[in-house]
Amino acid sequence: MNLDQYLPVLLFILVGLAVGVLPQALGYLLGPNRPDAAKNSPYECGFEAFEDARMQFDVRYYLVAILFILFDLEIAFLFPWAVALKEVGAAAFWAVVVFLGILVVGFAYEWKKGALDWE
């Protein structure tokens, strides 16, 4: 077996490591490092990160996050369908119309129940 066959694989691994590590290393070395209280505070976590683990927290934050992920993923299913719309035909079009109808009904229900309200 000839080791020249492994040269492209080795180059691929080296380039992949360089693309992944080099920008991070340059950012760490060349970027400014001026921490303050605002930068060290929790960011979008819903509660203080370094407190008692048994403290009460607001469930609404997690509800909104789960609803965002749910609707985001459902909308992501529409992109492949839109690309292949001419090939899939009218039956698939009406199937997606039903899908979007169910999605809108669910969204209206959540809105009516106040799941999206942040007081």
DSSP string, 36-95: -TTTTS--SSSS-TTS-TT----HHHHHHHHHHHHHHHHHHTHHHHHHTHHHH-HHHHHH
The pLDDT tens digits for 46-55 are 556 566 666 6
The H or E element that residue 104 is part of is helix 90-113
Backbone torsion region of residue 52, taken as left when φ is above 0, otherwise alpha when ψ lies between -120 and 50, otherwise beta: beta
The pLDDT tens digits for 1-21 are 677 889 999 999 999 999 999
- Please state, in angstroms and rounded to a whole number, the distance separating the CA atoms of residues 85 and 90: 9
pLDDT value of position 90: 85
Token readout for 1 is 């077996």
* Range among 1-10, 27-36, 67-76 with highest mean pLDDT value: 27-36
Q: Which has the higher per-residue pLDDT, 76 or 41?
A: 76
**Mean pLDDT of the region 95-102:** 90
Average pLDDT of the chain is: 83
- Please state, in angstroms and rounded to a whole number, the distance separating the CA atoms of residues 51 and 41: 12
pLDDT band at 119 (very low <50, low <70, confident <90, very high): low
**Mean pLDDT of the region 31-40:** 82
